[in-house]
Amino acid sequence: MLLFYTHVNLDLPNDIFDTFLSILLPATKQNILAFKQRKDRWLILAGRLLLSKAFEIQGLSLNLDDIARNKLGRPYLPHQEIDFNISHSGNYSLCVLSKQGKVGIDIEKIRNVNIDAFRKYMTDDQWIDIIESDDKLKRFFYYWTLKESVLKAEGSGISGGLLSVENSPDGVYRKGKRWFTKEVLIDSDYICHVASDSPFDNNLRLIQVDLFNLPKISDRTENITKSSRKGW
């Protein structure tokens, strides 16, 4: 499993945005430009480019035009044994690729929110853990990203029911199905989770890509020895 991520400088001039946007297909451009906020456009553009770059780095004969959506709007690659998911928050865009079943990812910048407004999305045990934590906001986003990553892997999104993602001593479950989750450190000011319907087996690799400057790739591995760039 591979996690590609990039830090986005949101102060880059508009002509750089336009240059990168111009290489995308019309439908993808329209999707990006449908967002009103400049920040959202940048992050979504970065996510699309990151996925395309991930295909290239891994030597996959795929492009963004190959992506389809299921009836719930979840993107997927038809006739492929590869699943992917994208997330963004703050100054980061990420995408994860897996050959081992469904995968979902969510990242959130830790920021001030009224956590009481989100009580209904937490189980009693999760809520107690949050309010008894020394860092309530960090613990809140821990559970929020965990839940979203599971729902995104499943393909139901938030509408699928955040409350139904539960913790137990032997793992994370939604409606009786077990999901395997892993917290990933991207930046100390962010919380990120990856979810899969298959065990990770210590094979999650992180690859940082500099999209908007000179091509520069750094590679680090979570819990396993560093291997070739194409290793999954």
pLDDT at 232: 52
Per-residue pLDDT tens over the stretch 145-186: 999 999 999 998 776 699 999 998 889 999 999 999 999 999
Strands 2-7 and 205-210, by their bridges, are: parallel
Beta-carbon contacts of 201 under 8 Å, excluding residues fewer than 6 positions away, are: none
Nearest to 184 by CA among 221, 229, 157: 221
Per-residue pLDDT tens over the stretch 12-63: 999 999 999 998 888 889 889 999 999 999 999 999 999 999 998 888 888 8
3-state secondary structure of 222: coil
Could you tell me the pLDDT band of residue 219, with boundaries at 50, 70 and 90? Answer: very low
**pTM for this one?**
0.88
Per-residue pLDDT tens over the stretch 97-150: 998 899 999 999 999 999 999 999 999 999 999 999 999 999 999 999 999 999
pLDDT at 184: 97
Fold classification of 2-221 (topology level) = Ribosomal Protein L22; Chain A (3.90.470)
Average pLDDT, the chain: 88
